[in-house]
Amino acid sequence: MILEKGRRVEVSRQDDILKRMPEDICITLEQGYIDVEIVVSALDRLSQKIASGAYDHRIAELVSSRADTYKNQAVRMMCRENIEFKVRTELGEDFFAPARTRPPLGESTIQVQPMPLGVLLHIAAGNMDGLPAFSLIEGLLSGNINILKLPQADNGLSIEIIAGLVEIEPRLGDYIYVFDTPSSDIATIKTLSLMADGIVIWGGEAAVSAVRQMAPVGVKLIEWGHKLSFAYISGYEDQDRELQSLADHIIKTDQILCSSCQTIFLDTEDMGEVHRFCERFLPILEESCQKNQSESLGIRADKTLRQHFENINRFLTGNDNSDGAFYQGAGCSLSAQTDSAPELSNMFGHVRVKRLPSKNIVSALRPYKTVLQTAGLICLPEKRESLSLALLRSGVVRVTRGGSMSELFSGEAHDGEYPLRRYVRITNIE
């Protein structure tokens, strides 16, 4: 299914749409950029529709442990209070209003006019439910025309939400195109990229590299690559509560998000402490796994296959980073490892546990600075400030509590940057 200016169109008509898009885009640009207040008002009404249950049939198709979370986050993220706070935080008051400069040395004044980039092509990833729609929303808030290429993992929720937005506010239709095009259709993606002033790419190194190679010269690339996140433990305020919260985070996210905990670091040089932690944490992780078990046979099968793969891999390779301690639970596992590198886990409840003394945080993590995102910090209150600063200096861009690593906060940056600022340009008029 394709959305052309908010209208649902069959995929068979894709070539005709691509042929007329350049002219249609120029007509829309001649009319001017969409007013932010129109977008905010429409999003607020959409938030109310989601809250009332209008999209429950689609949201219910998500993994059961994430459906309620998605709905609550969508309602909160799209409500007027949150959107206005986001725009103020990222762009300030009256960002798009023209202003006259007062240069030194007797030079003539110049009008400064912030404007949208023009046309954004969003190439979305499928590791976060509804992410494609949220990416497009940010493009609308910055005044751009938006072309969205859906990920293959999208279950139709994104199109439902975007179509609902245009139904609420038809004036947004001219600023929205959505294509359900496979990543293998390079010709179509190249055609779309030729119409763009900026390409927003979500994905891993391979996806980003492929887009770099096909992007036209001069088109701005806005990369939101895959990141690594971890938990760091240096004492507790409330051990039982904090470990339960961390376990719930690990299981509920399936560790598939950039902000999901892949590795747990302990503030120690003693491997004995690593083993004792694993022995204590495994039953907590098991309990959360049973409590939040997916109803999807496919996902449960995937978890089982990953578990067997881990076992076979350890048997065949000897796993040089492990001292032989592997803690197998029901649907989850912990691997005690001797190195101090942040590392992607096998996900779905399979976590690596490592030593990382606080004095070595910066030196151990700094080599991975370009891929670090969230650190879920569990520690004594008097250590929180100093440990947070050490983690940030190592390259981490986000420090949260252990159980809230994947929660969204109003006005927060994404991977250390404000998205709306990346989707605009500054023009000058003499």
Q: Residue 251: is its pLDDT beyond 80?
A: yes
pLDDT of residue 232: 98
How confident is the model at residue 62, as a pLDDT?
66
Question: Does residue 205 carry a pLDDT above 60?
Answer: yes
Instruction: Give one DSSP letter per residue of 288-309, joined into a string.
Output: HHHHT--S-HHHHHHHHHHHHH
Contacts of 97 (CB under 8 A, 6+ apart): none
Name the more confident of 107 and 373. 373
- Can you tell me the mean pLDDT for 236-262? 93
Give residue 330's pLDDT.
87
> What is the spatial distance between Cα 146 and Cα 138, in angstroms, rounded to a whole number?
10
The mean per-residue pLDDT over the stretch 228-244 comes to: 96
Tokens of 329: 């639970």
Average of pLDDT values for 293-301? 58
Cβ neighbourhood burial of 392 (10 Å; 0-12, 13-18, 19+)? middle
Q: Give the residue-averaged pLDDT of 369-393.
A: 96
pLDDT, greater one: 231 or 212: 231
- Mean pLDDT throughout 164-175? 95
Q: Which CATH class is domain 2-226+415-429?
A: alpha beta
Distance CA 411, CA 393 (A): 22
- Beta strands at 99-100 and 261-266: parallel, antiparallel or unpaired: unpaired
Q: Mind giving me the DSSP string for 188-216?
A: HHHHHHHT-SEEEEEE-HHHHHHHHHHSP
Q: Which residue carries 């949208």 as its tokens?
A: 116
Cβ proximity of 288 and 247 under 8 Å: yes
Nearest one of 411, 397, 417 to 224, comparing CA atoms = 417
- The pLDDT value recorded for residue 294 is 59
CATH superfamily of 228-404: Aldehyde Dehydrogenase; Chain A, domain 2 (3.40.309.10)
Q: Where are the domains of the chain?
A: 2-226+415-429, 228-404
Residue given tokens 């929720």 in the structure block: 157
Q: Are 219 and 197 in contact (CB under 8 A)?
A: yes
State in Å, rounded, how far the first CA of the chain is from the last one. 46
- Three-class secondary structure of residue 396 per DSSP: coil
Interval 336-361 mean pLDDT = 93
- Give φ, ψ of 337 to 5 degrees: -125, 150
Task: Specify the range with the lowest mean pLDDT, choosing from 62-71, 175-184, 249-258.
Answer: 62-71
Q: What does the pLDDT average to over 98-116?
A: 87
% of the chain at pLDDT higher than 70: 90
pLDDT at position 63, please? Answer: 57
The residue type of 146 is N
* pLDDT band (50, 70, 90) for residue 296: low
Bridge partners, residue 322, by sequence: 337
Which residues are within 8 A (CB) of 223 and not within 5 positions of it... i.e. 6 or more apart?
201, 208
Given this model, what pLDDT does residue 249 score? 94
Residue 248: is its pLDDT beyond 90? yes
Average pLDDT of span 246-275:
93
Instruction: Kindly tell me if the per-residue pLDDT of 273 is higher than 90.
Output: yes
Q: 316 versus 66: which is more confidently predicted? A: 66
Residue 64 has pLDDT above 60, yes or no: no
Token pair 């929180």 is found at: 384
Residue-level pLDDT at 19: 94
Check residue 79 and give its pLDDT: 94
Q: What is the pLDDT of residue 21?
A: 95
Average pLDDT over residues 206-210: 80
Q: What secondary structure letter does DSSP report for 179?
A: E
Query: Residue 225 has what pLDDT?
Result: 77
Beta bridge partners of 289: none
Give the pLDDT score at 152.
Answer: 74
Contact assessment for residue 124 and residue 150, using Cβ atoms and an 8 Å cutoff = yes
- Check pLDDT > 60 for residue 65: no
The arithmetic mean of pLDDT across residues 96-106, rounded, is 84
Measure the CA–CA gap between 83 and 64, rounded to whole angstroms.
27
Asked if the model's pLDDT at residue 154 lies above 80, the reply is no
pLDDT at 313 over 70: no
Mean of the pLDDT values across residues 30-46?
Answer: 94
pLDDT category of residue 312 using cuts at 50, 70 and 90: low
State the chain's mean pLDDT as an integer.
Answer: 88
